[in-house]
Amino acid sequence: MRFLSAVALVLFALSTTRAEDKYWDISDLKVAKPEDKEDVKSTPSPKGALVLFDGKTLDNWTKTDGKSAAAWKLLDGGIAQVNGTGNIITKEKFDGHFKMHVEFRVPYMPKASGQGRGNSGVYVMGLYEIQILDSYNNDTYYDGQAASIYKQHPPMVNACRKPGEWQTYDIIWEGPRFDRQGKLLKPALVTVLQNGVVVQNHFELSGATSFVEKPHYTPHPSKMPMGLQYHGNPVRFRNIWVREIKDIVGKPGNHPHHPG
């Protein structure tokens, strides 16, 4: 997202850079460009998952008007790259409780900093953003880091890999619920794992993502599309899928073969 004012940056910028990581001066010409890592294994979609991007086609996605074909670049190796055609959303709409798996790779941008470095995002239900950013030795405001619930809650730990390496988000989501009059009955809850590390733990959202105002809920349909953000940086994606999480059918009690 965009930069805050200089005053706000002074007040809110916090670093979660790991102590063991060496800080690289972006002006240091001796620092080699990180190698693109293609050897990180992709996580296969489980049985029952809906594959949203398999690397072959963007037919499951549209522009945000819900009609026009998504025009991001398809690259060799099953990769989609963000370009200047704007955000994209899924044709499919999702309800309730599910897990979303996203694999992404931020570019190496040594002359950029803060929000201008590997910026994109996953919009759950089209409204609630999980930030994508190169936060590997890159300071920014605390609730704008990679894996933050944007402008609401920072990650518990910086789990970022170096730019050029594939990373994963596993997003476990429980959507908000409204009554017929539009009153909020239950807020949204989210757990996020980045590269297998829990970075958001059952966090209760205060509302939809906004850069300019305090987050708040506005009634919306129970089924909404997923979205990926264009923010000017050539972030890449692969292997995106969603699996519904269903409640166990039946009543609590003793197992018939193991009475209490």
Domain-embedded: residue 249: no
Residue 30 lies in a domain: no
Task: Look at residue 251 in the predicted model and tell me its pLDDT.
Answer: 66
Can you give the pLDDT at residue 42? 85
> Would you say residue 226 lies in a domain?
yes
Write out pLDDT tens, residues 244-255. 988 766 666 555
Within-domain flag for 13: no
Whether 25 is in a domain gets the answer: no
Q: Which of 30-34, 44-48, 106-110 has the lowest mean pLDDT?
A: 30-34
Report yes or no on 142 lying in a domain.
yes
User: What's the CATH code of the domain at 237?
Assistant: 2.60.120.560
pLDDT at 202 over 60: yes
Res 26: pLDDT: 32
At 1 the pLDDT is 47
pLDDT one-digit tens code per residue, 73-109? 999 989 999 988 899 999 999 988 999 999 999 998 8
pLDDT of 8 > 60? The answer is: no
pTM above 0.85, yes or no: no
* pLDDT for res 170: 97
Residue 252 lies in a domain: no
- Give the helix/strand (H/E) hosting 244: strand 236-244
pLDDT for 237: 97
- DSSP count for the chain of H helices, then E strands: 1, 17
Q: Is 257 left (phi over 0), alpha (psi -120 to 50) or beta?
A: alpha
Alpha-carbon gap, residue 92 to 237, rounded angstroms: 18
Do the domain assignments include residue 84? yes
Res 252: pLDDT:
62
Domain that holds residue 172: 36-244
Q: pLDDT digits over 132-191, tens only?
A: 999 999 999 989 999 999 999 999 999 999 999 999 999 999 999 999 999 999 999 999
Distance CA 237, CA 163 (A): 13
Average pLDDT over residues 22-42: 44
Number of domains in the chain: 1
